[in-house]
Chains A and B, each alone.
Chain A
């Protein structure tokens, strides 16, 4: 019996086991209209999670992937913003903090156009949705046309981008700004530290964290940082979530956020073409955005993109994975692609124990191998960089990253993130986007046309 077990397992059976495991996570985490990121830690619908989830779910059920995005879009505000959380009304309000009672979207956000129902948060997350919608359409165009998926999703996604490029062009230079560290999705990245320290923390009694009920404190943001997050969100809420009324205490142009906006503009162009609408404005916008991204955020000396702090109008002197994600932009100048490839292979991001990319500079002063976005390697950023490598024809690098991704996803039981120095699983297990993106890498046609 031992000899049987000792035999090398075939690649095909490893892939099958991984595929089954990923599908199980997505079926288990499906709620009927959308997918929770994790049954233990995140009980509602999260914006960029849903987009990444749809990208994998489309291989399991194109209809569910469409519903995933539609359910998120049902929480869209009249001003175009897609909120970062759409709350499940069936759950008690204290199931997660900040809860619907904290955001008060239907009341405080009424003027800005928040829906009467469902309750949502008032901030946003990176705009990966149009890319997800286009990939979902491509997975089963017949089902998509039957359900008129694109014709319903397209105007909403276009309104979302309009919001970002008008209300959120806080720097006036053509890029979208984020106004809370949760908006770029990399909540406690050291990139935000300096700007965040300018923020007066909320009083400890003003909030009760729910993320520590199931998450380990060492893996999560600190209490003081959390108090500052609460302050920023409270100020935004009290301004009625009106971007024009409030002088934001935190405003950043984030490379990953804007890169995803560019990729999603290309996806809108493809959707417009499919719907028989002229998509030239989306292509033009994507090209303009690419120019702004390079002009405002590229650091040629460091060989990666930096976040720009709009309060001081300076580039943030930290190396983060957010600065590598723009590799996913199709029209990036060739020399920048080459520099990004070098940076990926260099000492700041080449992790010894995993082929995934750490979220923050391995040699950086604030590196912490376990704490959320201050070092751990995440699967969504790896998927985006994999897509970027493929986009730019760097196929052997892409293949190596894909193998690393799949190995880590399986070994970690689809963890939320992993320690880049040891490869140990961290955060939630059976995390939906990890499973979804693994399923995508196992299933997607490598020749799938880029939008």
Chain B
């Protein structure tokens, strides 16, 4: 049985402790944190440490900002790198595994007008490699991992498929950078999601789950047994972290996820 986690904003309760009570009752093994900008995540350090002391399991943080290390704008890029470094440091400090980020989100899509981005592919690649290297080296110093998340073509124009993430990561030569896969994006981008997991088995470090329509697993039409079987096949021992929108009663929806994943072979 693979371990499950749920992002904190999906849980009811004013404190992480209260959220953890709900999560555990629903069958989750952990909470995935969200890291806002302006060093907000670092400002929560005391709260996070207390939660950890109280037994809340928080292995990962997923960035929650509107600019990223692949931004076109130099200063936004620099800020994104500073924020991610801080998030890696904080997640290390509370004994976590790592932090997840895409190259960009909502900045540009080659599938929408004006179709041609302001930066060449070569420049994109240089910038991504520089950012990944800087963040990966920081992660290594902190003893944690940076998870690079491929997003679908409408949300990012640079890293859409596992093979693109794998290529960049191999170029950095750092084992502190892995792929953070997401079932929803893979469903759009990979011709065979299960085969893609096998093909990049050595680099998969984290997994986020939502269904074909971005709703909670079970609310769409993904072939979950095939996807989960592929993760079992590669010996994946990380978490399946629910990052999704919720259909129906939100609390029921959150509660339904661990049992659904288990029924589907997790």
CB A254 to nearest CB in B, in angstroms, measures 35
CB A90 to nearest CB in B, in angstroms, measures 13
CB B183 to nearest CB in A, in angstroms, measures 14
Q: Are A60 and B225 in contact (CB under 8 A)?
A: yes
B198 adjacent to chain A (CB < 8 Å): yes
CB B12 to nearest CB in A, in angstroms, measures 29
Q: Are A61 and B233 in contact (CB under 8 A)?
A: no
Which residue in B191, B195, B226, B235 is a CB contact (below 8 Å) of A61?
B226
Q: Are B223 and A63 in contact (CB under 8 A)?
A: yes
Given A23-B233, A24-B233, A61-B229, verify A30-B223 contact (CB < 8 Å): no
B168 adjacent to chain A (CB < 8 Å): no
Q: Which residues of B contact A30 (CB under 8 A)?
A: 192, 194-195
Which residue in B233, B235, B265 is a CB contact (below 8 Å) of A27?
B233
Interface of B is mostly: helix
Query: CB-defined interface of A1-42 with B at 8 Å, one 1/0 digit per residue?
Result: 000000000000000000110011001101010000000000
- Bound CA–CA A58/B63 (angstroms): 37
Query: CB-defined interface of A30-60 with B at 8 Å, one 1/0 digit per residue?
Result: 1010000000000000000000000000001
CB A104 to nearest CB in B, in angstroms, measures 32
B200 adjacent to chain A (CB < 8 Å): no
Chain A interface size range: 10 to 19
Q: Are B229 and A23 in contact (CB under 8 A)?
A: yes
Q: Are B195 and A62 in contact (CB under 8 A)?
A: no
Q: Which residues of B contact A61 (CB under 8 A)?
A: 194, 223, 225-226, 229
Given A30-B192, A32-B192, verify A24-B198 contact (CB < 8 Å): yes
Closest A residue to B234 by beta carbon equals A20
B230 adjacent to chain A (CB < 8 Å): yes
- Bound CA–CA A32/B190 (angstroms): 12
* Number of B residues, CB within 8 Å of A: 15
Q: Which residues of B contact A27 (CB under 8 A)?
A: 194-195, 198, 226, 229-230, 233
Interface of A is mostly: helix
Q: Which residues of B contact A32 (CB under 8 A)?
A: 191-192
Given A61-B223, A63-B225, verify A20-B232 contact (CB < 8 Å): yes
Given A27-B194, A61-B229, verify A20-B235 contact (CB < 8 Å): yes
- Bound CA–CA A23/B195 (angstroms): 11
A64 adjacent to chain B (CB < 8 Å): yes
Closest B residue to A32 by beta carbon equals B192
- Bound CA–CA A140/B225 (angstroms): 11
- Bound CA–CA A64/B225 (angstroms): 9
Query: CB-defined interface of B217-249 with A at 8 Å, one 1/0 digit per residue?
Result: 000000101100110111100000000000000
Q: Are A63 and B226 in contact (CB under 8 A)?
A: yes
- Bound CA–CA A64/B195 (angstroms): 13
Closest B residue to A140 by beta carbon equals B225
Q: Are A62 and B194 in contact (CB under 8 A)?
A: no
Q: Which residues of A contact B194 (CB under 8 A)?
A: 27, 30, 61
- 16 A-B pairs besides A20-B233, A20-B234 with CB distance below 8 A are A23-B230, A23-B232, A24-B198, A27-B233, A28-B195, A28-B198, A30-B192, A30-B194, A32-B191, A60-B265, A61-B194, A61-B229, A63-B223, A63-B225, A63-B226, A140-B225
**28 A-B pairs with C-beta separation under 8 A:** A19-B232, A20-B234, A20-B235, A23-B229, A23-B230, A23-B233, A24-B198, A24-B233, A27-B195, A27-B226, A28-B195, A28-B198, A30-B192, A30-B194, A30-B195, A32-B191, A60-B225, A60-B226, A60-B229, A61-B194, A61-B223, A61-B225, A61-B229, A62-B225, A63-B223, A63-B225, A64-B226, A140-B225
Question: Which residues of B are at the interface with A, using a C-beta cutoff of 8 A?
Answer: 191-192, 194-195, 198, 223, 225-226, 229-230, 232-235, 265
Question: Which residues of A are at the interface with B, using a C-beta cutoff of 8 A?
Answer: 19-20, 23-24, 27-28, 30, 32, 60-64, 140
Q: Which 8 A-B pairs have the closest CB atoms?
A: A61-B226, A23-B233, A61-B225, A60-B229, A20-B233, A27-B194, A63-B223, A24-B233
